[in-house]
Amino acid sequence: MKNKNPKCCICGNECENEWGNNPAPLPVKKNDVCCDECNANIVVWARLNPDLGFIKAFSKINISGICEELGIDRANLLKGNTSATNYKKVRDAIQEKLQKLP
Ligand SMILES: [Zn+2]
């Protein structure tokens, strides 16, 4: 039996294979899966969030300012309570600012 590949719980696209990826720790329903792209761009980064690995690595950049600009609650972001879309936005903003660092 050949089922259709599952739908990604983050972007809604079809997964590249029949298993998808585990989106933990993103706040999704049990048994949800995500596509390879979201796994690489969002989930992997979000996994660093509990110990703030990514963000601390870029402590030169003012995360508060980024959150303010984007209208994202910083406390929620740091606690892992914001959406995958917001993580992506913050990540993109961080990367953008990194380019501008001396
Ligand atoms: Zn996806």
CA of 82 to the centre of ligand 1 (A): 17
Taken as a whole, the chain contains a residue count of: 102
CA of 21 to the centre of ligand 1 (A): 9
Q: What is the pLDDT of residue 49?
A: 58
CA of 11 to the centre of ligand 1 (A): 4
Q: What is the pTM of this model?
A: 0.47
When the pLDDT of each residue in the chain is averaged and rounded to a whole number, the result is: 78
Q: What is the pLDDT of residue 56?
A: 46
Q: Which residue has the higher pLDDT, 78 or 15?
A: 15
Q: pLDDT tens across 26-43, in order?
A: 666 778 899 998 888 777
- Checking if the pLDDT of 44 tops 50, the result is yes
Q: In this structure, what are the phi and psi dihedrals at residue 42, rounded to the nearest 5 degrees?
A: -120, -55
Candidates 47, 34, 69; CA nearest to 55 is 47
Q: What is the pLDDT of residue 102?
A: 65
CA of 36 to the centre of ligand 1 (A): 7
98 token code pair: 């990194």
CA of 76 to the centre of ligand 1 (A): 22
Q: What is the pLDDT of residue 59?
A: 52
Domain range list for the chain: 52-100
Tell the residue number behind the tokens 């992997």, with chain if given. 44
